[in-house]
């Protein structure tokens, strides 16, 4: 099983909102969390964007005046460094531990390696292998990212047909994994919320092979299938 990490396993939206809210409180103001995510999304996918989460320094300077926050690079660095403390979704670590009994788990994240190390530790270091933007030199949905993983799996005497790709982002993962002929599983983390939050909206919705609202549901389904 291959996994998107940020947004699927790690609650990056919660982490962003928490840090921005703390900055707002210190500035004697408040922010609307969903508005902040929408502004983040628009700024994050600019042509001059850097790798994630380093790019959060630039992003902060873009969105701060629109949120009424102090425009200071030090706060941008604080937002970037907050990635070190972002929490996993409550079900992520346990679900990964359960899934690792049957599958070798591969992380596929657009984050840089330094940030991934914190995310992996938060999740209990469950991965057999991991691919970050540093190793691939690109970000999903670039097919080149996926082909790096395919090449690795081929060295393990397997192929992309043996992979189930698990992710929450229709734009970064589900659509492209379908185009590349992978079996995929959509974890709809925002099922109770409207819109796409901090993730870019896809040009069109891709119906996944499997669809769950949480990692816990996926782990449960795997165990039921095994028992049958």
Q: Indicate the number of domains in the chain.
A: 2
Q: Which residues contact 224 (CB under 8 A, 6 or more apart)?
A: none
Which residues have a catalytic role annotated? 4
Tell me: do 42 and 63 sit in the same domain.
yes
Structural domain including 104 reads: 2-10+87-227
Q: What is the pLDDT of residue 123?
A: 98
d(CA 61, CA 58): 5
Tell me: do 6 and 16 sit in the same domain.
no
CATH number of the structural domain spanning residue 80: 1.10.150
Helix (H, G, I), strand (E, B) or coil at 185: strand
Mean pLDDT by 10 residues, the chain (228 residues): 98 98 98 96 88 97 98 98 98 98 97 98 98 96 98 96 98 98 97 89 96 98 94
Q: Which of 135, 155, 218, 157 is nearest to 183 (CA)?
A: 218
Q: Which residues contact 120 (CB under 8 A, 6 or more apart)?
A: 107, 126, 127, 130
Q: Is the pTM of this model over 0.75?
A: yes
Q: What is the pLDDT of residue 195?
A: 85
Tell me: do 112 and 196 sit in the same domain.
yes
């Amino acid at each position: 099983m291959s996994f998107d990490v940020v947004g699927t396993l790690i609650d990056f939206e919660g982490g962003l909102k928490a840090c921005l809210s703390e900055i707002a409180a210190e500035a004697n103001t408040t922010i609307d969390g969903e508005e902040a995510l929408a502004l983040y999304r628009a700024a994050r996918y600019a042509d001059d964007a850097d790798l994630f989460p380093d790019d959060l320094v630039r992003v902060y300077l873009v969105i701060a005046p629109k949120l009424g926050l102090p425009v200071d690079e030090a706060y941008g660095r604080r937002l970037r460094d907050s990635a070190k403390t972002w929490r996993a979704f409550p079900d992520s670590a346990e679900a990964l531990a359960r899934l690792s009994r049957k599958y070798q788990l591969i992380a596929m994240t657009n984050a840089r390696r330094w940030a991934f190390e914190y995310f992996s530790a938060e999740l209990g270091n469950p991965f057999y292998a991991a691919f970050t933007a540093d190793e691939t030199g690109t970000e999903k949905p670039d097919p080149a990212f996926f082909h790096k993983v395919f090449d690795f799996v081929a060295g393990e005497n397997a192929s992309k047909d043996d992979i189930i790709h698990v992710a929450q982002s229709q734009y970064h993962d589900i659509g492209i994994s379908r185009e590349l002929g992978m079996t995929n599983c959509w974890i709809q983390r925002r099922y109770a919320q409207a819109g796409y939050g901090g993730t870019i909206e896809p040009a069109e919705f891709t119906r996944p092979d499997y669809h769950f609202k949480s990692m816990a549901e996926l782990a449960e389904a795997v165990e039921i299938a095994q028992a049958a």
